[in-house]
Chains A and B, each alone.
Chain A
Amino acid sequence: MSLKSVLAVALGILSAIGGFVDIGDLVFNTQAGAVFGFQLLWVVVIGVVGIVVYSEMCGRVSAVAGRPVFDLVRERVGFGPGLATLLAAEFVNLLTCAAEIGGAAICLQLLSGLSYRLLIPLAVIGLVVCSWVLPFEWIERVFGYLGLCLLVFAVAAIKLHPSWGQVARGFIPGSHTGGGLTLYLYFVVGLLGAALTPYEVYFYSSGAVEDSWGLKELGLNKVTAMIGYGLGGFLSMALMIVAGVLFLHRGISPQFLGTPPLAVEHVLSQVGLVLALIGILFAVGGAAIETSFSGAYNLAQFFGWQWGKRERPAGASRFTLSWVAIFAVAFLVVLTGYDPVKLTEYSVIFSVVALPLTYLPILLVANDRAYMGTRVNGRLANVFGVIYLVILLAVAAGAIPLLLITHGGQG
């Protein structure tokens, strides 16, 4: 492998790590740590393996078939089920985009001291301009690399000297001291939902086509998915560990998005605070762009429009209109002033309900020889794929009941 290709792979991995965490991960991992300490770390592992398995499938479909997964959903499962999947995905994308914008505005507020209300339109305008002007690879790079500032959480987690024995025990499920069983299960659902967000896999799939992946990139796909998202999972764990050390026994409930970065300041002083805020801002901002684009990709690919950032905005006008419109509607949702943390919780829980519907077509397409030729799923991918579908069905069934029983995680 040439130095150039090694560099390309490394940069791809870095971008994936920086882009892994979004507002849902931030909220749920921090809250889970504050209530249950390290006892839910095992859920992060399950979530990460799931996203690795399905991202690899999605990337492989794009590289082999030359078309993203959602593009193939309608011709594969039919108009009715395809439309149902589309509607569910769009609803969730919208909520998630709004939650991410709210998170970005709060970061800007903490960095600048300006008012939240003023910063919401600034955040949206900034994101729309970046999406309009920057080519696709630059969007991935800028937001991915600056999101790497989140590594400051990993540094903080280590500097806090947690009881590593207790951390290790967190990888074995079962104990839930600190809260009731229903609250524990609520967090299981929320953590999985935050890790397995459908917009991420659909964006990854369309992004592979935007980057013109072909058979040569099959290896890159595997590596980016496994190492990139695998290491990204460590960031989620760092969030939980930091919260577990600092908030658990002090009864601090991080209902405010500023709490995690302030936690970093506690350990690493002002520099740490600023890095944490920059990391969150770009990870969350990048996620906002991914959700709005994912929504536009889904619409364009269901209706057969020309799509992609590869085109100039006017060259794929309905696609362009779609992602701008999604930002616009998300902006209005955030403007209502609804608590961004609550908005995040709802977006994650609703996306959990839609998860089986959004992941099943991926499994079907990845097994279809007409698209995949000899690169259909091997036994390993299918075993994991089916296991995760079962997990998703169980989690989807329990999501709304648990949300109601625990009053949105209040216990």
Chain B
Amino acid sequence: MSDPVDLDIGLGILDHQLVDGDGRNCGKVDDLELSSLDSDSPEVVAILVGGNAWRSRGILGRLLARLAGDAVHVPWGEVDSVTSVVRLKRPAAELRLNRGDARWASVIRRVPGS
């Protein structure tokens, strides 16, 4: 990272697209894990993706969260850059992202022409 950049995380990171190291979509920033709020160096430590990451995003979010499993925690250190999308350094599979696509891909591959 070069010069420090200011941004508002609710507007500029929350709900934005996550893209992995190979340029593939791997979910949205469903929530952010904050830490050290009582100290003088509070920071964002992780991105929460999928599953029950929606439990504090309103009534509809709570309903959705009930149907889903655990959220994936992506440590902030995995982030390569923040532009209009949040780009990660490594491929999705290494971060346990896009498991849904992987799961259904094996089913779809049985159909010819896939």
Contacts and interface: CB of A to CB of B under 8 A. Distances in A.
B104 A321 contact: yes
A181 B84 CA distance: 50
Contact of B25 (A65, A304, A320, A371): A304
B41 interface: no
A316 interface: yes
Contacts of A321: 104, 108
A385 B60 CA distance: 30
B58 interface: yes
B17 A71 contact: yes
A115 interface: no
Interface in A46-87: 65, 67, 71, 74-75, 78-80, 82-84, 87
Interface string B12-44: 000111100000111110100000000000000
Tell which of B26, B101, B109, B111 has the most Cβ of chain A within 10 Å. Answer: B101
A132 B112 CA distance: 10
Given A313-B113, A318-B100, A82 B15 contact: yes
Contact of A303 (B27, B103, B114): B27
Given A75-B17, A80-B58, A318 B101 contact: yes
A79 B108 contact: no
A306 B98 contact: yes
A83 B60 contact: yes
Contacts of A133: 113
A302 B113 CA distance: 27
Contacts of A302: 28
B61 interface: yes
The number of chain A residues touching the other chain, given as a range, is 20 to 34
A133 B26 CA distance: 25
Nearest to B58: A80
Given A79-B61, A321-B108, A314 B114 contact: yes
Contacts of B18: 304
B105 interface: yes
Contacts of B101: 305-306, 316-318
Interface string B85-114: 000000000000010111111011101011
A79 B54 contact: yes
B48 to A, nearest CB: 12
B27 A313 contact: no
Contact of A75 (B16, B24, B60, B108): B16
Given A71-B17, A314-B108, A321-B108, A305 B100 contact: yes
Given A303-B27, A370-B84, A80 B104 contact: no
Nearest to A307: B25
Given A317-B104, A321-B108, A303 B28 contact: yes
Contact of B108 (A80, A87, A317): A317
Contacts of B103: 317
Nearest to B25: A306
A315 B16 CA distance: 22
A80 B57 contact: yes
A249 interface: no
B108 A320 contact: yes
Contacts of A74: 15, 28
A95 B31 CA distance: 33
Contacts of A87: 60
Contacts of A78: 15
A303 B57 CA distance: 14
A266 interface: no
A310 interface: no
Contacts of A407: none
Contacts of A370: 84
Given A79-B58, A318-B104, A304 B113 contact: no
A302 B61 CA distance: 13
A159 interface: no
B61 A306 contact: no
Contacts of B57: 79-80
Given A79-B15, A305-B101, A370-B84, A314 B109 contact: yes
Interface of B: 15-18, 24-28, 30, 54, 57-58, 60-61, 64, 84, 98, 100-105, 107-109, 111, 113-114
14 contacts: A65-B84, A75-B17, A78-B15, A80-B57, A82-B15, A83-B60, A83-B61, A304-B18, A304-B25, A305-B27, A305-B98, A306-B26, A314-B114, A320-B108
Which 4 A-B pairs have CB atoms at the shortest separation, nearest pair first? Answer: A304-B28, A317-B104, A304-B27, A313-B114
